[in-house]
Amino acid sequence: VAETGIDAWLRYARVPNCGKLRHEVPGRIVALNNSEASPVYTAGQELALGFAGILDKDVQVSDTSSAKHHGSHGHSGTLMVGTVDQFADASMDVDLDDDELIADGYHISISGSDVHIIGENDRGALYGAFNYLNALAQGNVPSESYTSNPDAPIRWVNHWDNLQDGGTHGSVERGYGGESIFYWDGSVREDLSRVPQYARLLASVGINGAIVNNVNANESMVEPYIVQGLQRVADLMRPYGVQIGMSLNFATPELLGVLDTYDPLNQSVIDFWNQRTDMIYEHIPDLAGYLIKASSEGQPGPLAINRTLAEGANLFAKALQPHGGITMFRAFVYDSTSLNETEDWRADRANAAVEFFDGLDGKFDDNVVIQIKYGPIDFQVREPASPLFAHLKNTPSAIELQVTQEYLGQQDHVMYFADLWKSVLDFDLRVDGEQSLVKDIIAGRRFNQPLGGYAAVSGIGLNQTWLGSHLAMSNLYLYGQMAWNPDVSSAGVIEDWTRLTFGFNQDVIDTVREISLEAWPTYENYTGNLGIQTLTDILNAHYGPNPASQDGNPWGQWTRADTFSIGMDRTIENGTGFAGQYPPEVAQMYDNIETTPDDLLLWFHHVPYTYVLNSGETVIQHFYNAHYAGSENAQTFPERWQALQGKMDQQQWSETMHKFVYQAGHSIVWRDAINNFYYNLSDIPDELGRVGHH
């Protein structure tokens, strides 16, 4: 089947108990908006598609005109979907059971055989329909009314897609699922058929925005021929409630040759951005906003011309303000050229974000949101929560996650991000001595911000699996679920996803859940332990073991490994001072080696290889043991997967099997490369005789 995977978790495959369920769902669907661009219309179509696939039940969708005449259709009932206002306009009772709806939220009201899916807005109605279908596709007909509201207003994906890449192809930076679905040969594709399929997946898990080009942005993005192409993208996503936004290059006016400056305080620069923004909104009236990477990794920005990051961000915010757009301004600001590891013990890239944003809290316009990577470095296998979340009390913030597995096996190693993301979202930063969970800060609850939320680098491409791996799609599903409700259970989400994607076989569900929950600790074990970071090649591919590449360059992802000792001393007195960027209680915990958890020991402290951990092992012995344990576990994946043959789609099974066999082998390469590297450096053999000589 050539298309296996395209529908991902939205296959609407027939459920085993469809004969029974068919009679428990309404026999009639009414969508209270018949405009094809409306998510409510989409909801009606989607419900009909779902009933046909899941239940083998053909149901026509009718619209508002017939809504009033519903009433007694015997036991067959009516499923009606629309917004609160549309229900009222159709003279229907809007019974929310006293629950409150916020933007994008929905209430599903079940009374007898009638079902009302009531969205606070059009998008909310569509989310309610998808939620109802999610239950059906897992063999359950919802029998009680319920309400669901999103935890945070911003739930976006980011695309690092390039207009072109040397040749004609639109490539995806850190993408492992093929070419861009948006671009080709320096322009927007003619054939955008994958775009609505993708938007459908996004909508089904509550994602409401998509930045459609790389943060390392091309200045052509604001040229009319690109904007016209993006209008087509926006038109295809709008029926799914996904608003598009764009990344911009800070130096655009200069790079396009229109002006000889990009100074955010210069009136011609301000006029340039106002005019381009007005032009963009003529084509895309619901543009979500802009995403800006500035003054980082060689990208132009305000710092080079002595303007502040706030002045830079506000330039775009002011242009967007009349249109209701948002500026997402990235906190990933650091100088990748001047850090010197050997000469400066206190130099530390991890310090950059808090230092660069120092004094700026409250200086941003109301429609600026600071987008912060989950950790202070860069999507490593384990990082402490970025301390910047604790510093922005008067500025909304969003967390930046990666669905694409840049440092985490690039879709060739299995990964399931739930517990990694929770390790940051659930972390208590103790701002002002009070509970300050990262998830509460970004949702706007902790500091009373109207904006905030989630962004994830998606990485999908033209590959029929989207991400280059069937299992990797669980992370896109998970991302939407967690941005909607960060308290979802890691195990529950993967079970749902597996049922929806692979079917009802209990062995399949159990094995996918078990392997997925083991994936992160397994990978951490054979790549980088104790907070030393993912010991991958950081100079180029970010793939495969290369511990030597971390040190001796200005990128600042250092381990400071020598013949006796290892780790970044980030303590306050003797080290880089990074620990001191946290509020006092957390700073104290990390500053003190006794209270630093083992899994972040080398993130915060520089110790001899013989240092004894809380676990009782030495650092070096932990390295050896963990690498063996991780690799050993990865080597169980192929045989555990083997047992599922015939219990799920054959193509998906075999493509996944291929990945597991590869991973099992590559985990041995990782194990031996890392263990030998540290043995050669330290000359301390493995107590169990596996590494070095006795």
- Concerning whether 297 is annotated as a catalytic residue, the answer is yes
Whether the CB-CB separation of 60 and 98 falls below 8 Å is answered with: no
Beta bridge partner(s), residue 330? 371
Among 76, 216, 588, 676, binds ligand GCW (CB under 6 A): 216
- Whichever of 126 and 292 has its CB closer to ligand GCW, that residue is 292
| Stretch of 10-18, 212-220, 521-529, 607-615 lying at the interface with ligand GCW (CB under 6 A) | 212-220
**Smallest distance from the beta carbon of 646 to ligand GCW, in angstroms?**
40
174 binds ligand GCW (CB under 6 A): yes
- Whichever of 401 and 626 has its CB closer to ligand GCW, that residue is 401
Give the DSSP letter of residue 386. Answer: P
Q: Which two tokens stand for residue 30?
A: 């009414």
Q: Rounded to the nearest 5°, which phi and psi values hold at 99? A: -80, 155
**Smallest distance from the beta carbon of 173 to ligand GCW, in angstroms?**
5
- Whichever of 204 and 410 has its CB closer to ligand GCW, that residue is 410
In the chain, the amino acid numbered 28 is R
| Stretch of 64-72, 211-219, 384-392, 445-453 lying at the interface with ligand GCW (CB under 6 A) | 211-219
Give the DSSP letter of residue 545. Answer: B
- Concerning whether 341 is annotated as a catalytic residue, the answer is no
160 binds ligand GCW (CB under 6 A): yes
Whether the CB-CB separation of 170 and 163 falls below 8 Å is answered with: yes
**Smallest distance from the beta carbon of 216 to ligand GCW, in angstroms?**
5
Catalytic option among 104, 378, 440, 569: 378
Q: Using DSSP, state whether 459 is helix, strand or coil.
A: coil
Sites for ligand GCW among residues 291-350 (CB under 6 A): 293, 332
161 binds ligand GCW (CB under 6 A): no
Q: Which two tokens stand for residue 60?
A: 């026509």
Catalytic option among 173, 297, 428, 672: 297
Euclidean distance between CA atoms 438 and 444, whole angstroms: 10
149 binds ligand GCW (CB under 6 A): no
**Smallest distance from the beta carbon of 457 to ligand GCW, in angstroms?**
7
173 binds ligand GCW (CB under 6 A): yes
- Whichever of 204 and 533 has its CB closer to ligand GCW, that residue is 533
Whether the CB-CB separation of 124 and 41 falls below 8 Å is answered with: no
**Smallest distance from the beta carbon of 252 to ligand GCW, in angstroms?**
17
**Smallest distance from the beta carbon of 247 to ligand GCW, in angstroms?**
9
**Smallest distance from the beta carbon of 406 to ligand GCW, in angstroms?**
6
- Whichever of 357 and 641 has its CB closer to ligand GCW, that residue is 357
Catalytic option among 348, 406, 440, 591: 406
For residue 354, give the H/E element and its range. helix 352-357
**Smallest distance from the beta carbon of 455 to ligand GCW, in angstroms?**
11
- Whichever of 378 and 440 has its CB closer to ligand GCW, that residue is 378
Sites for ligand GCW among residues 256-295 (CB under 6 A): 293
**Smallest distance from the beta carbon of 165 to ligand GCW, in angstroms?**
13
Euclidean distance between CA atoms 133 and 79, whole angstroms: 12
Q: Which two tokens stand for residue 638?
A: 């192929």
Residues in the chain, overall count: 694
In the chain, the amino acid numbered 484 is W
Sites for ligand GCW among residues 84-143 (CB under 6 A): none
Euclidean distance between CA atoms 247 and 256, whole angstroms: 16
686 binds ligand GCW (CB under 6 A): no
- Whichever of 214 and 667 has its CB closer to ligand GCW, that residue is 214
- Whichever of 131 and 214 has its CB closer to ligand GCW, that residue is 214
Euclidean distance between CA atoms 189 and 170, whole angstroms: 9
Closest C-alpha among 693, 393, 666, 680 to residue 545: 666
**Smallest distance from the beta carbon of 544 to ligand GCW, in angstroms?**
15
Burial of 173 (0-12, 13-18, 19+ CB in 10 A): middle
Q: Match 């590869």 to its residue by tokens.
A: 662
Q: Which two tokens stand for residue 513?
A: 């859940």
- Whichever of 288 and 457 has its CB closer to ligand GCW, that residue is 457
Nearest residue to the partner ligand GCW, using Cβ: 378
- Whichever of 317 and 538 has its CB closer to ligand GCW, that residue is 538
Give the DSSP letter of residue 95. Answer: -
Q: Rounded to the nearest 5°, which phi and psi values hold at 155? A: -135, 80
Beta-carbon contacts of residue 507 (< 8 Å; ≥ 6 apart): 643, 644, 647
Q: Rounded to the nearest 5°, which phi and psi values hold at 45? A: -65, -40
Torsion of CA 86, 92, 98, 99, to 10 degrees: -30
Alpha-carbon separation of residue 89 from 32, 92, 243 (angstroms): 9, 7, 26
Whether the CB-CB separation of 181 and 174 falls below 8 Å is answered with: no
**Smallest distance from the beta carbon of 347 to ligand GCW, in angstroms?**
18
Q: Match 């109207």 to its residue by tokens.
A: 450
| Stretch of 16-24, 213-221, 529-537, 594-602 lying at the interface with ligand GCW (CB under 6 A) | 213-221
Euclidean distance between CA atoms 128 and 118, whole angstroms: 7
**Smallest distance from the beta carbon of 626 to ligand GCW, in angstroms?**
24
| DSSP string across 29-85 | EEES---TTSHHHHHHHHHHHHHHHHH-----EE-HHHHTT-S-BTBT-EEEEEEHH
Sites for ligand GCW among residues 340-399 (CB under 6 A): 378
- Whichever of 211 and 532 has its CB closer to ligand GCW, that residue is 211
Euclidean distance between CA atoms 520 and 523, whole angstroms: 5
| Stretch of 41-49, 209-217, 340-348, 621-629 lying at the interface with ligand GCW (CB under 6 A) | 209-217
Counting residues that bind ligand GCW (by CB under 6 A) gives: 9
Among 79, 203, 215, 233, binds ligand GCW (CB under 6 A): 215
For residue 371, give the H/E element and its range. strand 368-373
| Stretch of 47-55, 214-222, 276-284, 598-606 lying at the interface with ligand GCW (CB under 6 A) | 214-222
- 161 Rama sector, left if φ>0, alpha if ψ -120 to 50, beta otherwise: beta
- Concerning whether 378 is annotated as a catalytic residue, the answer is yes
| DSSP string across 524-542 | HHHH--TTS---B-TTTT-
- Whichever of 316 and 497 has its CB closer to ligand GCW, that residue is 316
- 526 Rama sector, left if φ>0, alpha if ψ -120 to 50, beta otherwise: alpha
Euclidean distance between CA atoms 50 and 54, whole angstroms: 6
Give the footprint of ligand GCW on this chain (CB under 6 A). Answer: 160, 173-174, 214-216, 293, 332, 378
Any idea which residues carry the catalytic annotation? Answer: 297, 378, 406
